[in-house]
Amino acid sequence: MSLLEQVDAPTRLRGMTVSELEELAEEIRQFLIDKITRTGGHLGPNLGVVELTLALHTVFDSPRDRLLWDTGHQSYVHKMLTGRQGGFDGMRKPGGLSGYPARAESEHDLVENSHASTALSYADGLARADAHRGVTGRSTVAIVGDGALTGGMAWEAVNNTTGDPERPLVIVLNDNGRSYAPTVGGMGTHLEKLRAGTSDHSVFEQLGLAYIGPVDGHDIHALQEALRRAKVSNGPVVVHAVTEKGRGFEHTERNTLDLGHAIKPMDRSTGRPLSSSSGPSFTSVFSAHMERIARERPDVVAVTAAMVEPTGLVPLQEHVPDRVVDVGIAEQHAVCMSAGMAMGGLHPVVAVYSTFANRALDQLLMDVALHRRAVTFVLDRSGVTGDDGPSHNGMWDLSALQMVPGLRIAAPRDGTRLGELLEEAVSWDEGPTLLRYPKGPTGPDVPAQATFEGMDVLTRSGPLDVLIVSVGTMAGVAMDVADGLRAQGLGTTVVDPRWVSPVNDGVAHMARRHRLVVTIEDNSRVCGIGSSVAQSLRDADVFTPVRDFGLPRRFLDHGKRGEILTDCGLDGREITLAVIETLPGLPHQDGPRVHDSVDVEFERITLRTQDEQETR
């Protein structure tokens, strides 16, 4: 039996010698490489914290001592040491292990933090609670990646932590010089000087924290000694551990872009993905158009928050480096800074994941929109992202951001529409604009058969029974629903508004001619596009019923995007059945009734598209 097979809880580690722990570290690396190259996941960050995690679990007594991981993608080794080795074959699959700490999995996971710069605030709160209740004899430990220290929330916590020098708290700084990419800004430069021994005092000491380090993050004995010193400290202390992201696997060590930060399933011998690409992704299409626009428009500048590579900005950065600004994990600063750039005559394009845009809502609302600044936001990974679990789904962006006055929101259904809508967005100078699209391939283009008041009519046939308003990439599902309804003798019109918020007046003009309006979106039903369409119809005195289909008001488990959408009832079959059940109680139209010039335009579209179908 290997050493790793003997470890089913942290207590198993405490009788091991340093030599045995070093042997165990090698077994852990090989286990990670074997499993994560098969399932995909955050390989590089976890290869870098093997010895650090072993040292933490030999010095501290989890779960009595609280270990908080910031960010949680570096917790795979922690999962292995706390009895979850058997779950790695199902990592990030339905019913399998989460790629982040998960309270439902283990009492050793206290918080489910996969958004950076949060652990210090959690830790400060836990330490305050212990002090308030008179609890002693246990430690609170926050393991913070150096990239997370580029986030303002981390420094808000540091500022408050130092306010009480008698409150114990251990901050383990896992310094590998990177988040996704090399750590930017003054903090990164300062840590580099500490690593090189060219700085006499750390910023932490100047702020009132004790400081231990730098320590070799792959020397178990040195780490244990440093952590033991920190454990008996009476106040807040920083242990500075220097680690190597991607350590021990040639294909992550050679990948200078992100050192294997998050990999897809790969052949471990070659480092190549196991599955071939299924076509261009939305990210790559945005990347190509963004580079072209930036070359044509000297005022366009890309802004991102530690996500140059994941959002597709690497080609632009390589070819025109002064046109990409990476602020680190600091979304609030990115957005407010962009407002200032717009005031100065530039047109910033802020590219982040949808889930991280949540963190800058106040800045978008009060600093960009209130000042009517022309800033374009591009939200990658909108809707259901899947594998990374509940915290990374972009299922709230439409709900949260539709309320922002003056913000125009577009949802491209395919690659061609992404290019067109990005061009329109950066050409708009009356206020902010936003594009949202999902993770994954664009799929084939879905052409429009006609246009109506700036909206794309994707298909139209039969009587005026159901108007389907499709949001972004749900166009494929909308077309499936139309096919299913036509098979039952029901007429359908499918329209893609392109710009989904504010709701186009043409939706009301179309809706009053139909028996039922159906909206389909990969956003929360609560305050989603469906809710806005229903409100816009009421405002226009149109009383056609609305059935809105979207994501439920709950956190979604990890899994593949398609599986999750089906589980939520967002597939052609389920929606078709629901619509068929709804229609019998609704009145029929009395036949064509032309009310005004808008209806005349709609009738012409209907005739034209019907003629095209008959020709086929």
Q: Which residues are tagged catalytic?
A: 245, 331, 359
According to the annotation, is 72 in a ligand binding site? no
d(CA 429, CA 289): 19
User: Residue type at 135?
Assistant: V
According to the annotation, is 147 in a ligand binding site? yes
Distances (CA, A) of 567 to 94, 384, 443, 562: 11, 12, 22, 9
According to the annotation, is 331 in a ligand binding site? yes
Contact criterion met (CB below 8 Å) for 305 and 328:
yes
* Radius of gyration, CA atoms only, the chain: 27
Largest CA distance in the chain: 87
According to the annotation, is 234 in a ligand binding site? no
Contact criterion met (CB below 8 Å) for 440 and 310:
no
According to the annotation, is 115 in a ligand binding site? yes
Contact criterion met (CB below 8 Å) for 526 and 519:
no
Which residues make Cβ contacts (< 8 Å) with residue 276, sequence separation at least 6?
Answer: none
Q: How many helices (H) and strands (E) does the chain have?
A: 24, 18
User: Per the structure block, which two tokens stand in for 336?
Assistant: 């407010």
Q: Helices 18-39 and 50-59 sit at what angle, rounded to 10 degrees?
A: 130
d(CA 314, CA 283): 11
According to the annotation, is 249 in a ligand binding site? yes
Strand 546-551 versus strand 300-304 pairing type:
unpaired
Contact criterion met (CB below 8 Å) for 350 and 338:
yes
Which residues make Cβ contacts (< 8 Å) with residue 291, sequence separation at least 6?
Answer: 315, 316, 319, 320
Strand partners, 237: 170, 210
d(CA 333, CA 301): 15
* Long-range contacts from 311-318, C-beta under 8 angstroms, 24+ separation: 311/283, 311/286, 311/351, 311/352, 311/353, 311/378, 311/380, 312/283, 312/284, 312/286, 312/287, 312/351, 312/380, 313/287, 313/351, 314/257, 314/287, 315/287, 315/288, 315/291, 316/287, 316/290, 316/291
Residues tagged in the binding site annotation for thiamine diphosphate: 73, 114-116, 147-148, 176, 249, 331
Residues tagged in the binding site annotation: 73, 114-116, 146-148, 176, 249, 331
Residues tagged in the binding site annotation for Mg(2+): 146, 176
